Structure 1
Amino acid sequence: MSMTGLPAFDTTVQKSNTWVNDVAKELGWEDKHRAFQGLRVTLHALRDRLTVDEAAQLAVQLPILLTGFYYEDWKPATNPSKERTKDQFLSHISDYFQTIEPNIDAEAIARAVFKLMSNRVSTGEIEDITGILPAEIKELWPQAVRA
């Protein structure tokens, strides 16, 4: 039975929910809202480090619902960010969670999201993304992607 009465909506909700569930499972979290926020903020941090073209190419491989969240508050004129270190990248994740959960493991979140992406986004796109990233940030991706 359809949730919304619109198959396209139902499909994107189901696909997006699968992504969130996979992040939650990888992190050992039961709180889907927390997992969604981790996915969302990591996608934002990644998006802001990509060129405008590369950010758009990644967006087309996300579930449609997640694409909307991915583009939320985006300022393409500022891409790519000049930040180069892993700590700078991870600070975007930890800063987001600071008021809700100050001791969050930002690196674990980034690694979980990147693992999910390496399984759900085309190999060519992942190669393009990791080819743009500074070495320290690229190290957050699964070993198979970095090889």
Structure 2
Amino acid sequence: MSALGLRIFDKAIQDANIWLDELMKMLDWDDKKRAYRLLRSALHTLRDRLQVNEAVHVAAQLPILVRGIYYEGWRPSSPQTDYKHAAEFIAAVESAFDTDPNADPEAAVRAVFTLLDARLSPGEVDDIKSGLPRDIRALWPST
């Protein structure tokens, strides 16, 4: 029997923990709550920068619990953000850390992009990057 009674729930938690563990390892962090806050903020900032159709395509490739985090609070009818520069994008992600800023916020964003680059299909990553300005796209590992 599964810990929560349904294997799909156990798998969703396991998959989300795998993503958080990978992110923590990349950043040499030992705080899962902090890694969650980074992943959530980066996903929301990315989602809000993409066109609605592309944002939905990204979500389709996320693990179910991460997908729920991604969609949390989303208003697809709101205008997308217009960040053109990496510094603006990084600042938006870093706003989730207002009381405990990251020592290297750019490295934190790059780690999330590295995780997405490894976990999403190459075609989806290409689609995401093509929808971003060059300066933000440069934060991806394979650019």
Match of 1:52 in 2: 52
Q: 8 Å contact 1:22–1:116 — kept in the other structure?
A: yes
Task: Give the number of equivalent residue pairs.
Answer: 143
8 Å CA contact 1:58–1:125 kept in 2: the answer is yes
Asked if the contact 1:39–1:109 (Cα under 8 Å) also holds between the matched residues in 2, the reply is no
The 3-state SS of whatever aligns with 2:3 is coil
Distance 1:103 1:124, change over 3 A: closer
Tell me if the contact between 1:23 and 1:113 (Cα under 8 Å) persists in the aligned partners. Answer: yes
TM-score by length of 2: 0.95
Cα distance between partner residues in 1 of 2:103 and 2:98 = 8
Aligned letter for 1:134? P
Describe how 1:73-88 pairs up with structure 2 within 5 A: 73-88=73-88
Using the TM superposition, give the Cα deviation of residue 14 of structure 1 relative to its aligned residue in structure 2, in angstroms. Answer: 0.6
Provide, for residues 41-98 of structure 1, a one-character-per-residue CA deviation record: whole Å limited to 9, x for no partner. Answer: 0001100110101000000111101111111111212243122111110111221101
Taking the aligned partners of 2:95 and 2:65, their CA distance within structure 1 comes to 24
Residue of structure 2 in register with 1:108 after alignment: 107
What does the per-residue CA deviation read over 1:99-120, in whole Å, with 9 as the maximum and x for residues that have no partner?
2x13442211110011011111
Q: What one-letter code is carried by the residue in structure 2 that aligns with 1:110?
A: V
Q: What's 2:31 paired with?
A: 31
Unaligned runs of 5+ in 1: none
| Length-normalised TM-score, structure 1 | 0.92
Q: Which residue of structure 2 lines up, in the alignment, with residue 70 of structure 1?
A: 70
Q: Stretches of 4+ moved more than 6 A in 1?
A: none
Rounded Cα–Cα distance in structure 2 between residues aligned with 1:132 and 1:55: 10
